[in-house]
């Protein structure tokens, strides 16, 4: 099972059907106490028991970040997945105890933006719901586009509409794009017509995120924010074949050879080095490590997708080295 530093036990307080194939789970501390604070856009790791063994899955928190007494996650049932969402839908009931990681945020909201444009595909609405709550509380201008295949899949629709009363700073647009003759959201037009300095956020399936990346290609990295919940095809993040290289751990004063067919993370774990990690797919950000020297070859959608990828940090579960050696702050 994956390792992350901070684990919590929570009790399932309530389970709610939010839309077709979408359930929310209200998670609280078993003793009713306060949970660690989180910010809009945060996710938690959830340990899920399945017939084939335990899985670790990441779910965004969708309740109000001001709440300390609970976390709410929304889970879309995905029969084509490896079984995590199906197990939660079919087996998790009120009263059950779950192990989750402390909240982490790779999808932070810029609360000072003059306008926030939020684009959600399907269950990608969950981090956006927390963002909309926060922006509504702050009175900042925002527009949320929720793309769904049919109206019965529009989870949290009533809560969203309540956050955007007429005349207020928020607006919610539900785009039904799965019915015959339906028109998809024109992301390029949306970016083109947004007000000066707007920030753009997207969470949804891979094709939507790739289209969003093309639409925002001319926008600076600082104003484009993306949350991946599954990994894109390898070609999107790894053009070059993987080669071997070495990694020096500065603080531990140790060196490891990384063969072409193994990740830095795996080699370090096999070598007895304790590295926080979770998804192993470059999605959750848990394994982010500072780079002290050498050129990282980013293979994850979080950092590789940037126009100006950082050279001083990397996700060691999937990313590699563009030269012969990396020196890491480990
Ligand atoms: S373990 Fe999730 S990004 Fe590396």
CATH of the domain at 320: 3.10.20.30
Of 122, 306, 319, the residue nearest 203 (C-alpha): 122
Residue 235: pLDDT band with limits 50, 70, 90: very low
Nearest atom within ligand 1 for CA of residue 317? 4
**Residue 74 within a domain:** yes
Total tally of structural domains belonging to the chain: 3
Residues having CB closer than 6 A to ligand 1 are 277-280, 282-287, 315, 317
CATH of the domain at 40: 2.40.30.10
**Residue 242 within a domain:** yes
Torsion sign (Cα): 166, 168, 174, 175: positive
Same-domain status, 69 and 158: no
Same-domain status, 200 and 304: no
**Residue 109 within a domain:** no
Residue 214: pLDDT band with limits 50, 70, 90: very high
Ligand 1 mutation pick, 285, 296, 302, 305, max ligand atoms within 8 A of CB: 285
Same-domain status, 73 and 26: yes
Q: Please state the pTM of the whole predicted model.
A: 0.89
CATH of the domain at 190: 3.40.50.80
Please say if the pLDDT value at position 236 is more than 50.
no
Same-domain status, 242 and 221: no
**Residue 107 within a domain:** no
Q: How far apart are CA 138 and CA 182, in angstroms?
A: 34
Gap from CA of 45 to ligand 1 centroid (Å): 11
Q: If you average pLDDT over residues 229-248, what whole number do you get?
A: 70
Q: How far apart are CA 229 and CA 213, in angstroms?
A: 15
- Beta-bridge mates of residue 57: 46
Q: If you average pLDDT over residues 171-181, what whole number do you get?
A: 94
Looking at 228, 253, 280, the residue that finishes a domain is: 228
Gap from CA of 288 to ligand 1 centroid (Å): 7
**Residue 159 within a domain:** yes
Q: If you average pLDDT over residues 193-203, what whole number do you get?
A: 97
Q: Between the CA of residue 147 and those of 18, 144, 172, what are the distances in Å?
A: 16, 10, 11
Residue 192 structure tokens? 């083109």
pLDDT tens digits, 298-323: 999 888 877 788 999 999 999 999 99
Same-domain status, 274 and 312: yes
**Residue 106 within a domain:** no
Ligand 1 mutation pick, 5, 56, 58, 283, max ligand atoms within 8 A of CB: 283
**Residue 204 within a domain:** yes
Looking at 68, 101, 134, the residue that finishes a domain is: 101
Same-domain status, 125 and 221: yes
Mean residue pLDDT of the chain comes to 92
What's the domain range around 65?
A: 7-101
Looking at 228, 255, 274, the residue that finishes a domain is: 228
Residue 138: pLDDT band with limits 50, 70, 90: very high
Task: Please give the pLDDT value at position 241.
Answer: 59
At 256 the three-state DSSP class reads: strand
DSSP 74: E
**Residue 1 within a domain:** no
Q: How far apart are CA 144 and CA 126, in angstroms?
A: 12
Q: How far apart are CA 234 and CA 281, in angstroms?
A: 11
């Amino acid at each position: 099972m994956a390792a992350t530093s901070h684990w919590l036990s929570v009790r399932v307080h309530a389970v709610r059907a939010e839309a077709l194939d979408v359930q929310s789970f209200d998670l609280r501390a078993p003793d009713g106490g306060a949970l660690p604070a989180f910010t809009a856009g945060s996710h938690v790791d959830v340990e899920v028991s399945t017939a084939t063994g335990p899985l670790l899955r990441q779910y965004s928190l969708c309740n109000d970040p001001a709440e300390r007494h609970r976390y709410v996650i929304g889970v879309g049932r995905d029969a084509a997945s490896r079984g995590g969402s199906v197990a939660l839908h079919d087996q998790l009931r009120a009263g059950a105890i779950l192990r989750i990681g402390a909240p982490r945020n790779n999808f932070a909201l810029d609360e000072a933006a003059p306008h926030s444009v939020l684009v959600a595909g399907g269950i990608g609405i969950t981090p956006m719901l927390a963002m909309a709550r926060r922006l509504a509380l702050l009175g900042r201008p925002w527009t949320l586009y929720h793309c769904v295949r049919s109206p019965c899949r529009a989870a949290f629709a009533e809560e969203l509409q309540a956050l955007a009363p007429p005349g207020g700073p928020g607006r919610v647009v539900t785009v039904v794009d799965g019915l015959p003759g339906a028109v998809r959201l024109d992301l390029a037009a949306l970016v083109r017509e947004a007000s000066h300095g707007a920030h753009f956020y997207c969470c949804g399936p891979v094709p939507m995120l790739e289209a969003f990346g093309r639409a925002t290609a001319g926008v600076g990295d600082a104003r484009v924010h993306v949350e991946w919940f599954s990994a894109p095809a390898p070609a999107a993040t790894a053009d070059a074949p993987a080669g071997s290289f070495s990694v020096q751990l500065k603080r531990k004063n140790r060196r490891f050879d990384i063969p072409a067919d193994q990740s830095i993370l795996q080699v370090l774990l096999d070598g007895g080095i304790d590295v926080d990690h979770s998804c192993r797919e470059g999605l959750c950000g848990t394994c982010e490590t500072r780079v002290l020297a050498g050129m990282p070859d980013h293979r994850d959608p979080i950092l590789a997708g940037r126009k100006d990828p950082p050279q001083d940090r990397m996700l060691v579960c999937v990313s590699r080295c563009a030269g012969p050696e990396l020196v890491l702050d480990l």
